[in-house]
Amino acid sequence: MASGVVYHWEFERRGEELAIDVKGRLTLGDDELIRQAVLAGAGLAFMSEWSVAEDLAAGRLVRVLADWTPPYPGLCLYYPAARHVPASLRAFLAVLREGDKAAKRPPRRAR
């Protein structure tokens, strides 16, 4: 939304693809604000599963249109293969790898 363009919700089922221009009274561009709004009952949200995994596991949120939202394998990062990788890029890659490991662990259950 930084460009001013509202993201079209994308769905796919058995090879059929849809892009929906969703209109509503509330438009947010920050994942945490979107999550908080949905938890407060503001409506539906189109979010990555990993960003709401704990809420799903705890039953605070439920997934809808499951047959139209197949699993997403994740993002890819490409960078030039070089002998010297700057320390800042190495640190960033380490954070991403740790996040990937955490995402593959089963979500913690609420007590």
Query: What is the residue-wise DSSP string for 62-102?
Result: ----GGGSPPP----------S---HHHHHHHHHHHHHHHH
Q: What mean pLDDT, rounded, does the chain reach?
A: 84
Q: What is d(CA 23, CA 20) in angstroms, rounded to the nearest whole number?
A: 9
Read off the amino acid at residue 1.
M
Question: For the chain, what percent of residues have pLDDT higher than 90?
Answer: 29
The three-state secondary structure class of 10 is: strand
Name which residue leads in pLDDT, 3 or 59. 59
The answer as to whether 53 is a domain residue is: yes
CA atoms of 52 and 103, how far apart (whole Å): 11
Arithmetic mean of pLDDT, 47-67 = 92
Residue 94 lies in a domain: yes
Write out the residue range of the structural domain in which residue 97 sits: 9-104
Tell me, yes or no, whether 41 lies in a domain: yes
User: Per the domain annotation, does 4 fall within a domain?
Assistant: no
Burial of 72 (0-12, 13-18, 19+ CB in 10 A): exposed
pLDDT band at 35 (very low <50, low <70, confident <90, very high): very high
Domain assignment of residue 1, yes or no: no
| pTM of the model as a whole | 0.61
CA separation for the pair 9, 46 (Å, rounded): 7
Range 96-109 average pLDDT: 70
Q: Is 110 within the bounds of a domain?
A: no
Into how many domains does the chain fold?
A: 1
For residues 41 and 103, the model is more confident at 41
